[in-house]
Amino acid sequence: MAAFGTGAGRPLQGRGGSGFRFTLYAFLAVVVMYLDQRGHYLEQVRYVLQAAAYPIQLLVSSPPAAWRWLKQTLQTREALQAENARLRGEARDLELRSMRYEALARENGELRALKEALPPVAERWLPAEIVTVQVNGLRQQLLLNRGASNGVFKGQAVLDDKGLIGQTTHVGPWSAEVILITDPEHAVPVRIERTGLRTIAVGAGDSGSLALPYVPSNADIVAGDLLVSSGLGGVFPAGYPVARVTEVHRDAVQPLAQVRAMPLAHVDTDSEVMLVWFRADHPAAPVTPQPAARPEALGQLKSGNPAMQPQPAVHVPDSTPAAGGAAASGAAAPPAPQAGTTAAPPVAREGQPQ
Amino acid sequence: MNADSTGRMLLSAVVALILTVLPLPPWADMIRPQFLVLMVLFWSVYAPRTGGIALGFFSGLMLDVFQGQVLGEHALALALITYMAVLEHQRIRSKPAFQQALFVLLALVIYEFVLFAIDGWTGHAVTSWLRWLHTVTGALLWPFASAILAYGAGRRA
């Protein structure tokens, strides 16, 4: 047995052998990358690999979890009593508020000439614990301890009690990866609650802030405005709080304003988040293009029917903030049909000239 | 070379993987060396027939699952620098620790460049210069890491 580090290892058979093996593995890696990136053929492989990775992730996160558990167990009686009193007060407060909410919802339903108040858009909640947090300047992701065995699916909304957190990207059997709304690769369609202007909030790259890159300079937006989800994009339902605008910078020569916003959810202090299932038939549910209608609409586009072509944004005659917002958000998502109507093929709806 | 050294190699791989994915505060995360890459480089240089390119490829695949944007990017980058290390293992092994660290720095820069390029091509570009920081800390750590690994590998042989 040759001792390592003494240079007594036998030489390799020749350089050709390792060169061939390298070519083989490099080719394999390129094929894997192509399949994963282009076709998403590797969902099953990822599922298995994620299951294999989960024990290690669990092990790695166990020291902080054990510390939390220890701290909770050793809390004094007084601290627990104080917390209990505070929570009871909060619960009473929330009950009072939800009483009012129910009355308002009923009134709203009557105003919309519906027979009765609609059920809430969220159908089911599942609390999930954060196993590991990878929050740095480059990637902002979480790992949750719920997976496909709990019914979690890819592209599911994740919230906490303050607002949106993100959506699931890869789902394993017992775990799910979540991309945060502050990740530079994540974009969430939002609406300014005060004005109704629709736009898109993307992660700014530095942790804990969002950028709104598609807001025109003349748009009515000020620091302190609340951003709520607009229901477009097919992941988040309409009306959930997302972020609060912190700064608006307008430059006379720039067509777009530079807007920053601070997310309302506090991922760094949460240890538990909520996975949510939504009622698909609810007016506030996420708007998804119907899968059957899409190829058809694309086919009509290809055939060159001018009535079906989406009109360029510059042809929109009026320049109200709402129209500007719709034009701005049109780059990534089709302008929304009004909440309450059914989701029709978006291209056909957009095609009607004004 | 035999089942025993393969077992030790796998053990060191698991330890390195745990060190790689251990949650750390952001500043420590920035300067954290790529322990798994250092481990693979060590085994490629000191026991090229035990680990070799296969070890690099599958370690990279594991890294892809934990932190990759596209399955296969770490696998390709690690297979490449493993190949370089296996080719030059005789020459690297005979050098003092300082010159070895220079080679490791070069390998880590190539590794990070491959990742950088693939991230860009697949539309996940991360252009922050902070992503290159771990190449320096990795090279600085190399003399200690290789000493510890060589101790562990030789001791229980």
Number of domains in chain B: 1
Residue pLDDT, tens place only, B45-90: 888 887 788 899 999 988 888 876 788 899 999 999 999 999 888 8
A56 touches chain B (CB under 8 A): yes
Contacts of residue B130 in chain A, CB cutoff 8 Å? 137-138
If asked whether residues A160 and A278 sit together in one domain, one would say: yes
Phi-psi region of A57 (alpha: psi -120 to 50; beta: other; left: phi over 0): alpha
For range A214-224, the mean pLDDT: 89
CATH of the domain at B108: 1.10.1760
What's the confidence (pLDDT) of residue A8? 40
Contacting residues of A for B47, CB less than 8 Å apart: 4, 9
Average pLDDT over residues B31-58: 88
Please report the pLDDT score of residue A204 as a whole number: 81
The verdict on a CB contact (< 8 Å) between A205 and B122 is no
Do the Cβ atoms of A203 and A180 come closer than 8 Å? yes
Residues A50 and A172 grouped into a single domain = no
**Contact at CB, A185 and B124, closer than 8 angstroms:** yes
CA of A67 vs chain B CAs: smallest distance (Å): 14
Residues of chain A in contact with residue B93, where contact means CB-CB under 8 angstroms, are 5, 7
pLDDT at A301 over 90: no
CB contact under 8 A, A137 and B26: yes
Angle between helices B133-155 and B35-46 (to 10 degrees): 50
Domain residues for the domain of A172 are 123-289+320-330
- A243 & A155 share domain: yes
Please answer yes or no on whether B52 and A64 come within 8 Å at the CB atom.
no
- Inter-chain touch B57–A28, beta carbons under 8 Å: yes
Using only C-alpha atoms, chain A has a radius of gyration, in whole angstroms, of 25
* B13 inside 8 A of chain A by CB: no
Which residue do the tokens 């059997």 mark? A173
In this predicted model, what pLDDT tens digit does every residue of A280-296 receive, in sequence order?
777 677 766 554 444 44
| 59-98 of B, contacting A, C-beta below 8 A | 60-62, 65-67, 70-73, 75-76, 79-80, 82-83, 86-87, 90, 93-94
Contact list in A for residue B83 (CB cut-off 8 A) is: 18-19, 22
The answer to whether B22 contacts A45, with C-beta atoms less than 8 Å apart, is no
If asked whether residues A146 and A257 sit together in one domain, one would say yes
Q: How many domains does chain A have?
A: 2
The rounded distance, in Å, linking the Cα atoms of A297 and A351 is 11
A137/B130 touch (CB, cutoff 8 Å), yes or no: yes
Nearest CA in chain B to A177: B66
A203 and A134 housed in the same domain: yes
CA A39 to chain centre: 22
Contact B74, B63 (CB under 8 A): yes
Q: Which amino acid is at A155?
A: G
B21/A28 CB distance under 8 A: no
Q: Please give the residue of chain A at the shortest CA–CA distance from B88.
A: A15
Among left, alpha and beta (phi > 0; psi -120 to 50; other), residue A201 is beta
> In this prediction, does ipTM exceed 0.90?
no
Burial of B140 (0-12, 13-18, 19+ CB in 10 A): middle
Indicate whether A141 and A42 sit together in one domain: no
For residue A180, pLDDT beyond 80: yes
Distances (CA, A) of A237 to A126, A155, A174, A279, A285: 17, 12, 25, 9, 5
Q: B71–A4: do the CB atoms touch at under 8 Å?
A: no
Question: What is the number of CB-based contacts under 8 A between chain A and chain B?
Answer: 136
Residues A52 and A170 in one domain: no
Residue A49 contacts B where some CB pair is shorter than 8 Å: yes
What's the distance, Cα to Cα, between the start and end of chain A in Å? 83
pLDDT at A340: 38
Supply the pLDDT for residue B67: 77
Which of A21, A25, A202 is most worth mutating to test chain B (most B CB atoms within 10 A of its CB)? A25
* Model pLDDT, residue A289: 53
Q: What is the CA radius of gyration of chain B?
A: 15
Q: Is the pLDDT of residue A353 over 70?
A: no
Q: Are residues A173 and A253 in the same domain?
A: yes
If residue B77 lies in a helix (H) or strand (E), which one and from where to where? helix B73-87
Q: Chain B: nearest CA to A129, how far in angstroms?
A: 15
Mutate to test the interface with A, among B36, B45, B65 (most CBs of A within 10 A): B65
Average pLDDT for B124-141: 85
Instruction: Assign A341 to helix, strand or coil.
Output: strand
Give the range of the structural domain holding residue B94, as residue numbers without chain letter: 3-155
Mean pLDDT of A266-285: 78
Instruction: Determine the Cα–Cα distance for residues B28 and B64; give it in Å rounded to an integer.
Output: 21
3-class SS at B68? coil
Q: Reduced to 3 states, what is the DSSP secondary structure of residue A244?
A: strand
- Site of tokens 């167990």: A73
Q: What is the pLDDT confidence band of residue A206, given thresholds at 50, 70 and 90?
A: low
Q: Across the interface, do A29 and B76 touch by the CB < 8 Å criterion? A: yes
Q: Quick check: is A115 in a domain?
A: no
Query: Is residue A113 very low, low, confident or very high in pLDDT (cuts 50, 70, 90)?
Result: low
B126–chain A Cβ distance below 8 A for any pair: yes
Contacts of A97 (CB under 8 A, 6+ apart): none
- Partners of A32 on chain B (C-beta within 8 Å) are 61, 71-72, 75
